[in-house]
Structure 1
Amino acid sequence: MKTGLFKNKKWLKVLVTTLTLTLGMSLFVGCGSDKKQPAAEKKDLKKVSIQIDGAAVPYYAPLYIAKEKGYFAEQGIDVEFYYAAAAEIVKNVAAGNVEFGFPNADSVITAKTQDIPVKVVHTTYQNGLGSAIFKTSSGIKTPADFKGKKIAVTSLGSPNYIQLQIMLKSAGLSLDDVKVEVIGTGAIVNALVTDQVDAIVFSMLRTIELKNQGVDVSEIRSDDFLPSHGNVLIASEKLTKENPELVKGFTTALNKGIQYIIDGNAEEAVKLAVEKYAPSFKGKEAVTTDIINEVFVPYLWQSENTKKNGLGAADMAKWNKSIEVLNEYKVIDKTFDASELIYEAK
């Protein structure tokens, strides 16, 4: 004999039908939220492009983090990354082929003297990367010790060649007091390791790489004598005037990416960058993390200026000094005030 709920077959039929319909609707709604909503959200994002100096490397991790962590999306932006030489980046940004660029600062200063209409919207690297690197056993401690030494640069038109001249000048020396060797980018570090030269003027990132390889080297940083900058974020003058909200959104997301790494997440950021963007660095994650923690976090992304004015803030006096020196050494044929180059949000 049936009891309880099962006594009423009609009621049972209604219950089963209701449960079936409810479950079906839940599954339908669930599928809709999983598959359709993200597509709708992505459709609402504004697609923008940034062209980055050189190739994909983990040192561009703040940009990659900003994309992967959704910081750009928070600002309504979907970013695509492209890569090129600095001079080409400046031209493409000015022409509107890409919305943003991330070239070295010297190329932007040069472009300004050629009336190429771009603005620096974020002074990402507060200092330059140049360094004179030498074996600790060489006896070199100050620029005065360069006298009579053989020193390599990558070309006589490179920023490092100017940096060498300024370091020599600080010690009352000139190019006549040293032997300058021109060695290509791919061979210059090995020339130091194999004692073909006494010092190289190159990127300070190589100092940590060499130490990691067991080579005892020291350095003199160029910024101690020549105020400069590394990579900076640029946009066209037209974009800064017509869409300042986009510029603000991009720089806000970039700052959030930088801050995430500063807050102790360099290892995670490097791992993400290598896995998704820079696979050629696989196996070099540890030394790359060291470089970010030792150079980028305390020296490139941060400064006394950023402590006062925030990440990416421009030090106008330092920019003007860079312009002045590049003019003095004939890299640019005229000078101008940094306020003409630096964009300030209103």
Structure 2
Amino acid sequence: MKHNSLKFGFLALILILSACRTGTQAPTKPTALTPIKLPVGYIPNIQFAPLYVAIEKGYFKNEGIDITLDYNMENDSVALLGAGQLQFAIVSGEQVLLGRGKGLPVVYAAAWYNNYPVGVIVDPAKNVTKPADLKGLTIGLPGPYGANYIGLRALLAAGGLTENDVKLSSIGYTQAENFMTKKVDAASIYVSNEPNLLESKGVPFTLLKVSDYTSLVANGLATNETTLKEHPELVRGMISGLLKGIADAGANPEEAYEISKKYIENLDKADTTVQKAVLKSSIDFWKSLKPGSTQPDAWENMQKLLLDMGMLDKPIDLTKAYTNDFLPVPTK
């Protein structure tokens, strides 16, 4: 009996000491960082301020992640994600659907933009007040690809129009210049960019925003099925770092702008008024009551648009194209 009493006494002591260590010891942080190359598309730009903030303030490193940004084309990123050569990329919703339509196991894991940031600027002399009024106009865009093209097609569809009702002109990323010199009647643009530039130069325009007519899936963090299954904590860490960067940049735009100078060459020599206006306009597109969450209706609208455009051969299982399961749990 005495032997058993001593045995239980030692067990109790061990449990007490363990509890004390657990209660007083600070949480351990990862000693080795996981390197992640994150493609974002386009070039270094103030619109990527949340990423610069998250990197600079250590939001990714606190999650055990060492981020390197890579600027390339969205379709390249999706192909590499699907092949398992990348674990993450910043892409728009249509690229995820187009990738899955080709059998690529890519998954949209967190929304960055709450609204689709594309629109069309039009010469006021054309008296355009709604999408249907675009009929017969020459519309410039980088080319028949990417978000500018998808957004334009969404606006045309909202007006009951098709490409055959307008003349598309592939002008590269020179929409503002071509618009100002009247080489085109209208141009498909990012709402945060060209409108602010034109306003600074006193150039009048009419703006039609895609988000005023339909809900589509915009830019967000994409990954692949293997990463979701084998590295769920890495996915959560990436999402956490991104959302903290978005929230911080939105709450402290002046600080975000200063941080961005380190990552954007010659930002300190650019027109500060225009660039800060671009950041402010971008922040409006990031705002969300449910940060990171993506909505079924936006995916349904996007899929219908791609099917109507002939870019998807047949409907896909949308429930496998995106997930909200890895978002941070809201604190009460």
User: Please, what TM-score do these two structures have when normalized by structure 2?
Assistant: 0.81
Instruction: Name the amino acid aligned to 2:303.
Output: I
Matched, 1:243 2:243: no
Secondary structure, aligned partner of 2:36: strand
Q: Which residue of 2 aligns with 1:291?
A: 278
Corresponding position of 1:19: none
Kindly tell me: are residues 219 and 344 of structure 1, through their superposed partners in 2, closer, same or farther at Cα, counting changes over 3 Å? same
Aligned partner of 2:178: which letter?
A
Name the SS for the 1:320 alignment partner: helix
What letter matches 2:301 in structure 1?
K
Which residue does the alignment assign to 2:243? Answer: 255
Give the Cα separation in 1 of the matches to 2:67 and 2:233. Answer: 15
Q: Give a deviation string over 1:250-290, Cα, whole Å, max 9, x none.
A: 11111111111221x1122122112x211143323432221
Q: Offset of 1:185 from its aligned partner?
A: 1.7
* Pair 1:158–1:250, CA change in 2 (3 A): closer
Identity of aligned residues (%): 26
The aligned residue for residue 122 of structure 1 is 110
Residue among 285, 297, 300 paired with 1:320 = 300
Aligned residues of 1:167 and 1:225 also touching (Cα < 8 A): yes
Matches within 5 A, 1:158-177: 159-177=147-165
- Among candidates 268, 273, 286, match of residue 301 of structure 1: 286
Structure 2 unmatched runs, 5+: 1-28, 327-332
SS in 1 for 2:40: strand
Preserved contact between residue 142 and residue 174 of structure 2 (Cα < 8 Å): no
The amino acid across from 1:289 in the alignment is: K
Q: Contact 1:67–1:73 at 8 Å: present in 2 too?
A: yes
How many Å apart are 1:172 and its aligned residue? 4.3
Structure 2 counterpart of 1:225, which letter? Y
- The reply to whether residue 189 of structure 1 matches residue 176 of structure 2 is yes
AA paired with 1:89? S
Alpha-carbon displacement from aligned partner over 1:16-48 (angstroms, at most 9, x marks no partner): xxxxxxxxxxxxxxxxxxxxxxxxx88533322
**Number of residue pairs the alignment of both structures matches:** 297
**Between Structure 1 and Structure 2, which shows a larger proportion of helix residues?**
1
In the aligned structure 2, how far is the partner of 1:158 from the partner of 1:67?
27
Cα 1:246/1:58, change in 2 over 3 Å: same
Q: 1:271 aligns with which of 258, 261, 267?
A: 258
Give yes or no for contact 1:156–1:182 (8 Å, CA) kept in 2.
Answer: no
User: AA paired with 1:48?
Assistant: I
Q: Distance in 1 between matches of 2:157 and 2:304?
A: 16
Which of 298, 301, 313 is 1:333 aligned to?
313
Cα distance, 1:341–1:246 mapped onto 2, change above 3 Å: same
The secondary structure found in structure 2 opposite 1:311 is: coil
Where does 1:1-346 land on structure 2 (aligned, <5 Å)?
43-157=31-145, 159-178=147-166, 180-204=167-191, 205-263=193-251, 265-274=252-261, 276-282=262-268, 283-294=270-281, 296-298=282-284, 300-302=285-287, 306-307=288-289, 310-345=290-325
Matched residue of 1:247: which SS?
helix
Tell me by how many angstroms 1:129 deviates.
Answer: 2.2
RMSD of aligned Cα (Å): 2.4
